[in-house]
A and B are shown apart, each in its own frame.
Chain A
Amino acid sequence: MSLQMNMLLPMGLYLCCMLGIGIYVHRSASPGKGSFLQHYFIGDRGMGGFVLAMTLIATYTSASSFIGGPGVASVKGLGWVFLAMIQVPTAFLTLGILGKKLALISRKIQGVTVMDYLWARYRSKMLVLLASLTMLIFFLAIMVAQCIGGARLFQVMAGIPYGAGLALFALVVVLYTTLGGFRAVVITDALQGAVMIFATLFLLAAVVRAGGGLEVAGETLRTLHPEMMDPTSGGTLGKPFLLSFWVLVGLGILGLPQTTVRGMGFRDSRSLHNAMIIGTLVVGFLMLGMHLVGFFGRVLLPEGLSPDLVIPTLTVQVLPPFWAGIFIAGPLAAIMSTVDSLLLLAAAALVKDLYIRFVSPGATEKTISRMSFGITALLGVAAFLLALNPPDLIVWINLFAFGGLEAAFLWPTVLGLYWKRANASGALLGMLGGVGAYFWCSLNAFNPLGMHQIVPVLLFSLLGFVAGSWFGKKPDPEVLELFFGEK
């Protein structure tokens, strides 16, 4: 019992701290300048470089980078760490390609969501409706899955019953997100990012030390499991499979709405430049560090342990309880920082992209602000209830969510910014074709050469996009002027 208390105390303090940030941001909000939407959903575009880098990475790194991936690395070895390192360019790639263009355009159109951008570029209600619904469904599924991960963590680590852990976890995330909006999300993300860095650093040091130091631990693994020293993991990780991750967690991430929207919220060029540098250093450190924890953890763990239990077990094993309580905050932070961003974006989709655009374009500021708070809270509660007793359908959709979002949004997002000919029929065809193909390929296990299905899916979606754009109507001159500075 005392062991639990020792761990609960730092975890509780950590959660209170997040809550405090939400309340502080809510109190300090100055409703005088700017519109409520600009303030609540994009934080008046005030992010500096450090916060931008951290929120991008914290949103991107989820339970899978902190628990799932390292667990697999403890079985597969360095081949899986090699795979994880494909994600090092995440920050500089997204910011370098999407950042400034979106910053420029979103200011001109007063845009706060990805749908605002899609609307300004393609002028199609059908597309916005379809895109919003796709995003909502996938986001809800991811949120539920992440909440389940968070509650399990409480359960395994501190012995809190699943339902109670879930309630505690959901309460904190929903409260601070609802109260503080975008600013609370990015400030807590920055803090959570810092926690992830320290958790990784200390856990890695502790695991290597417990294994007898780098040389000894490496030597042991090499003798017992030589295949763990190989990029193909003894032939079990095929090259086409590994290389297809350059699409799934490489170029494809340019399509994730939760990273795209970060391009609308930063202050100036300098912030973006700094975020590209900081972000690359940090994401590389987290991926390398956490996966190496799993890798070296193999020497300390019993054989045949379920991969998902590797990180929780190691944390309890190598760190004293009080410190374990602090460092379990690492994966918890990874989960919370993903849920908060998705929650806010889903609320924005409902309020801004669906309600204001289609139902009531003349809604007053007061109605909008009430609705925003209400819907954010409501969505959070919905995710909580679904996670309490997860329906199979949600769990199933979650498996498709990451790739599905890429299949829907990659080409409409990127080609809209860089290809003048891109138009609504192309975007619709690309989006529908992409999502459809993704479900088809996944259900029929269509993996040519052993590649992940995202590769053929994105090619198919590109084909649809180009064909639709070619045969469809040319974009209006005003659109071209807005997006390319020339007709």
Chain B
Amino acid sequence: MTDKEKHGQLNREALATLGLYGIFFLWWYGWGYGLGSGNPESYTYLFGLPLWFLLSCVGGWLGISLGVFWVVRGFFREIPFEETPESSR
């Protein structure tokens, strides 16, 4: 892998990271403010906690952990950090 190829892959990995970040934001925002607006008395409750919280916070945390796992395993690549004869061309 040349240095240029390494940096190309790193840029793509950074974008993937930002993508995950964006998805987490939308999930957090969507369930949180989507279900959690209005009168707290009228929310749906499960195990004593409102559904918006369970989906947005508990679900969001577990979901994004799974997402990170999936993206890192499937898309991130093993990049040698030490100088190799090939990388210095």
Contacts and interface: CB of A to CB of B under 8 A. Distances in A.
Interface in B12-62: 13-14, 16-18, 20-21, 24-25, 28, 32-33, 36-37, 39-41, 43, 45, 47-50, 52-53, 56-58, 60-62
A418 interface: yes
Nearest to B52: A231
A100 B48 contact: no
Interface in A34-82: 78, 81-82
Contact of B68 (A101, A229, A232, A276): A276
Interface residues of B, number: 53
A284 B65 contact: yes
B64 A215 contact: no
Contact of B14 (A96, A215, A216, A226): A96
Contacts, number: 138
User: Is chain B's interface secondary structure helix, strand, loop, or mixed overall?
Assistant: helix
Interface residues of A, number: 49
A276 B20 CA distance: 12
A243 to B, nearest CB: 8
A349 to B, nearest CB: 24
Best-buried of B6, B11, B56, B72 by chain A (most CB within 10 Å)? B72
Contacts of A269: 76-81
Interface stretch (A25-33, A102-110, A306-314, A352-360): A102-110
Contact of A277 (B4, B28, B69): B69
B53 A276 contact: no
A197 to B, nearest CB: 14
A107 B72 contact: no
Nearest to A93: B21
Contacts of B81: 100, 103-104, 107, 268-269
A107 B20 CA distance: 28
A270 B80 CA distance: 10
Contact of A97 (B17, B33, B53, B77): B17
Interface string A453-487: 00000000000000000000000000001001110
B45 A218 contact: yes
A360 to B, nearest CB: 29
13 contacts: A82-B28, A88-B24, A92-B68, A93-B21, A227-B40, A229-B49, A270-B78, A273-B72, A280-B65, A281-B65, A284-B61, A285-B61, A486-B3
Interface of A: 78, 81-82, 85-86, 88-89, 92-93, 96-97, 100-101, 103-104, 107-108, 214-219, 222, 226-227, 229-232, 239, 246, 250, 268-270, 273, 276-277, 280-281, 284-285, 288, 418, 481, 484-486
Interface of B: 2-7, 10-11, 13-14, 16-18, 20-21, 24-25, 28, 32-33, 36-37, 39-41, 43, 45, 47-50, 52-53, 56-58, 60-62, 64-65, 68-69, 72-73, 76-83
Sort A-B residue pairs by CB-CB distance and give the 4 closest, nearest first: A218-B48, A96-B17, A485-B3, A284-B61
